[in-house]
Amino acid sequence: MTNAVPHLFIFGSKSTAIEIAETTAELHPDWKIVHVSDQPDQTTRHPHVLDQRLPEYLQHLPGPHRFILSMSDQKLRAHYLELANSVHLEPQTIVHPQTTVSPSAVIVTAG
């Protein structure tokens, strides 16, 4: 078993993706955060990888590898979900501790 630091791949690099990265950094300061998108981006404080280079990027990176889709565009989400699954990333949920969650809400996990 490895003690590798978890990597969280956030698909997207704007608004919601930045908020997810900030919350994750606060809750899990030891995690490595990497943004993934189809355009080069220099606006985030975390590393960025182009989506087409993700498989190559992961080849030399110890796991575990997790992901979050940050965009609301359903076609783009489907595209990135397919990519995440093809490189065996595990879905991750991040809930800020100050979040108010409805009593009827359910967080669905894989399986």
Q: What is the pTM of this model?
A: 0.83
Say which amino acid occupies 70.
Answer: S
| Segment (H or E) for 42 | none
Query: 58-82: per-residue pLDDT in tens?
Result: 998 887 899 999 999 999 999 999 9
- Residue 64: asked if its preceding bond is cis (omega within 30°), the reply is yes
The domains located in the chain, with CATH, are: 7-91 (3.40.50.20)
Which residues, 6 or more positions from 93, have their beta carbon under 8 angstroms from its beta carbon?
68, 107, 109
In the three-class reduction of DSSP (H, G, I as helix; E, B as strand; rest coil), residue 91 is classed as: strand
Structure tokens at 79: 């595209």
pLDDT over 90 at 14, yes or no? no
